[in-house]
Structure 1
């Protein structure tokens, strides 16, 4: 009777230890980045600063915003740097309970998920932000000083990073659904028109209300869905061959 309880407690203790290690790794990296928090925010704000009119600047409407916002940016960067180690701790906790074939599938998918999430963030920072901010600067009415609060800018950047990071996970989601047998490739192909419409709806929800930014999210989402369909062919389970039917009892008796 005590064996299951001891096993459960040992798992809880291991989970606690691995969570502490993951949080400590983030904290240590954050403390190392703390002296450069302002520089990190300057790098994050560069796409907007480069698009502001001559003499334009960002503002802080909160008393402690000039301190908290750079700290949040440093914490975000620390988490991204420590993410491989955090995922390793999660993998070390989960892996003993997986079968060998599940490990062979899970590890590449986790690595691909992290890589694609970073690619999505880089796509947003290098292409989406300059395009959107440049468009906003051009349509700003004359006599209007286009400035933004640093807290609101950080909120916009974070939501955009998350939206594009999740968007670039579409191939992994498609592969997992096909591999687990939840849906077939043929069915996903039939869903293509709905995926296209849904991509533009998602682009309208998670991007500023302009056509350019919506296209920059919707078009990659459609292309990544097609990439997922292509890659899913290599992991889909082949259909089981039907065994030949046995002759009926009457037929065997006659023979």
Structure 2
């Protein structure tokens, strides 16, 4: 058992196997129904969103606040090994969260209406725009700055110093936006605003 749970790939394959058993065991009658793709993309949207927001919160509540108090000899382990991997999953989770969310909105028939704040989907539209801003921050502010900070791309000491506050402000903006964004996402169906 320890060998299985010690192997992340095996655990992921196991999770997918259980998912497939549930999908085909409990939902085989509706797999061909037109509603099923919507539900599948909703599931993928939530799965990717958990990864994205979970890593956002890890970075803002754990890694960033801990770095100043870490002994200098330990910091290269974070910046050289952990942070690049976290940022890989962080940015791709952001991209796939937005992509699957847009697919859900399209399949549900409210993509344009939500993005243009039409009555009945204003709340989800606000959440969608917040998520789009957050994803923009990830890909076009945080990631380019972090590449300089972590030494993934060449940057002078001054460029690294200038990149740090940009990355922090964008990341904290995403933390700020994540709170109302999640509210908009989960209450749209109940409130229908």
- TM (norm. structure 2) is 0.35
Task: Judging by fraction of residues, say which structure has more helix.
Answer: 2
Larger radius of gyration: 1
